[in-house]
Amino acid sequence: MSNFAETLKKYWGYDGFRPLQEDIIRSVASGRDTLGLMPTGGGKSLTFQVPAMATNGICIVVTPLIALMKDQVDNLRRRRIKAAAVYSGMTREEIIVTLDNCLYGDYKFLYVSPERLTTELFLSRLPQMKVNLLAVDESHCISQWGYDFRPSYLRIAEVREYLPDTPVLALTATATPEVVKDIQAQLKFGGENVFQKSFARKNLAYVVRNTDDKPGQLLSILNKVPGTAVVYVRDRKKTKEIADFLNQNDISAEHFHAGLSNDSKDQRQVRWKNNQTRVMVSTNAFGMGIDKPDVRVVVHLDLPDSLEAYFQEAGRAGRDEQKAYAVLLYNKSDSTKLKKRLSDSFPDKERIRTTYEKLASFFQMGVGSGEGMVLPFNLVEFCRAFKLPILPTYNALKNLEHAGYLELTDELDNPSRLMFVVHKEELYHFQTNNPQLDRLMQIVLRSYTGLFTEYAHIDEDTLAKRIGSNRQMVYEQLRTLHQQGIVSYIPAKKTPFIIYTRNRVETERIKLPRETYEDRRNRYESRLNAMLLYATDANACRSQLLLRYFGQKDAEACGQCDACLRNRERDLPQHEFDNIQQEIKTALKNNSLNSRELLGAIAHKPHKILIVLRFLIDNGFVAEDKNMKLQWL
């Protein structure tokens, strides 16, 4: 480990690893397939970055989060570590240049989106790469039992056939026991090998408040709990409404969602991280890769779709191990909204087939063609062209994705890219003969490095200022250089993409198998119900409920959530509640007893035993068998 410790200090400046990081690195270094379950903010990226840097070869990192992918590549480059990325939205030429650089340019990291990983272009070059590690981030996406299943992840195992001696490191922040097993099976682990940090957060108090005035309750919380905060809502419009409301009440706030420009998002994140803005009101687009340790409270105004999503978002509070709060605001209308999400997320099969047919018309895609095509896609324009409702259409496309017919990427904000495609001697000759373009080319070469070997992200506004011109003039001159074969210039574009993963078939041949429709619908409904139970059960310890969901059945009551405080107010102090719970567990661990036998076996007042017993039954710790005997599960 001394070699790894030196690498950690040299490139990241840390004096030592966190306990679980070291265990995972040891496992990977020994060549074992490894699954690491680490909470949000736990330092997952170092578990593959450090061993990859200390070993000859390149590390391939699979992740679906393109924004996070770009951030990590930028961060590595700032540390003078060669890193690159391949994802949907790049041109074929860009991908070829990137892969060739990884083959011959001594690169250490190649980040790849899952849909690009098994393309012919990628696989043709993979055997020539000396790959020291295959890291799979957000690995819960490979499991159909998980809350964010992505079909493209299932093909990662195919890549292992090209890399028979390369270990796999799978990483995720949240996974149920069922998903933990499935991840290892789908990635073809040589043997079960899991490192898991307890999901318990002793400094984080979980609170659910039932209120018909959510903005007013939010204001009350922020006035009582000082410090930085994140407020999560479901839709983009609401982010601005709530931020405006807070500003009107003298609490500095900004809104954030995926539809903002990159510059706007970056500026808002910086102000919030530097405590110039106290509250960020956001959709779930905010938080990935944002490592701010001193967030004192995370408030959810709307219910997430699952406890996995809630746990991850709430866990962004209190990473500095100081007291923090995760508050969920709930009222009866939320139950109706949550149930409506089920029907919205799974449109009827006829709508799904009709959407597929209209999509083919939109792209003029003939039967038997399309496989591998990556097409810019504007959902609003598509819906307007065929008079379709937006939400059901979006979810119809996602169901087609799960059935394996296509993929719909998230909206990508791709900046302009530029690379010179002539040798320096040819460029000098061109500059001499084209003085009207020479000034721009000189400024470009001074402003960016590596332009003859890889694409650089450029900003036309910055170049315009430096040559004393305007953006339109810079754009036109770059287009001229592109047309004359001097540069490869790809203007900025902000758009999602449709990727046809197979050739278009006749509409009547579209199959929506039970496992990709009915089974997924049932699992989604189960996750919604678990989320609803968390919001409505006034007696269950919030922490225990969450930990049990993730397989930690013997967790102690936290003593600080709203349910624990309420139990204490009922003249049943937390320590007494814990003692009775432990005695019930001991009595039932090896024996099945009826309720009368149990009351006689424990030396506490019967009404107190019944309070604790009711809690244990309601939360699945204790159950009755067919003979009406109680047993500990």
347-412+496-516 CATH fold: Arc Repressor Mutant, subunit A (1.10.10)
Residue 610 CA to residue 565 CA, distance in Å, equals 18
DSSP β-ladder status, 497-500 and 374-376: antiparallel
pLDDT digits (tens, 9 = 90+) for 311-351: 989 989 998 889 999 999 999 899 999 889 999 999 999 99
Task: Give the tens place of pLDDT for each residue, 464-492.
Answer: 999 999 999 999 999 999 999 999 998 88
261, pLDDT greater than 80: no
CATH class as words, domain 416-491: mainly alpha
Class of domain 204-338: alpha beta
Question: For the residues 442-447, what does the mean pLDDT come to?
Answer: 92
Domains of the chain, residue spans? 2-196, 204-338, 347-412+496-516, 416-491, 554-632
Are 2-196 and 554-632 equal in CATH topology?
A: no
Q: Which helix (H) or strand (E) holds 72?
A: helix 66-78
**Where does 554-632 sit in CATH, by number?**
1.10.10.10
Q: Is residue 134 scored above 80 in pLDDT? A: yes
Residue 89 has what pLDDT?
75
- For 607-630, write each residue's pLDDT tens digit: 888 888 887 886 667 888 878 889
Q: What integer is the mean pLDDT of 545-566?
A: 87
pLDDT of amino acid 412: 66
pLDDT given for residue 1 in this prediction:
64
Q: What percent of the chain has pLDDT over 70?
A: 97
Measured distance CA(235)–CA(591) in Å, rounded: 51
Helical ranges in 330-470 per DSSP H: 332-345, 349-363, 379-386, 390-402, 424-433, 435-447, 460-467
φ, ψ of residue 48 in degrees (nearest 5) = -110, -30
Give 87's pLDDT tier (boundaries 50, 70, 90).
Answer: confident
How confident is residue 400, by pLDDT bands cut at 50, 70 and 90? very high
Question: Per-residue pLDDT for 120 more than 60?
Answer: yes
- What pLDDT, on the 0 to 100 scale, is given for residue 449? 87
Give mean pLDDT, residues 18-47: 89
Q: What's the pLDDT at 409? A: 81
- pLDDT at 325 (0 to 100): 95
Q: Which H/E stretch holds residue 536?
A: helix 518-536
Who's near 599: CB < 8 A, 6+ residues apart?
606, 609
C-alpha triplet 564, 567, 568: angle, nearest 5°:
90
Which residues does residue 8 pair with via DSSP β-bridges, in sequence order?
A: none
CA 26/CA 32 separation, integer angstroms: 9
Give the tens place of pLDDT for each residue, 164-214: 999 999 999 888 899 999 999 999 999 999 998 888 888 999 999 999 999
pLDDT greater than 70 at residue 64:
yes
Identify the pLDDT of residue 117.
87
Structure token digits, residue 14: 């840390």
- The mean of the pLDDT values for the chain is 90
In sequence order, the β-bridge partners of residue 230 are: 280, 298
pTM: 0.77
Q: Tell me the fold of 2-196.
A: Rossmann fold (3.40.50)
Per-position DSSP letters for 458-486, written without gaps between them: E-HHHHHHHHT--HHHHHHHHHHHHHTTS
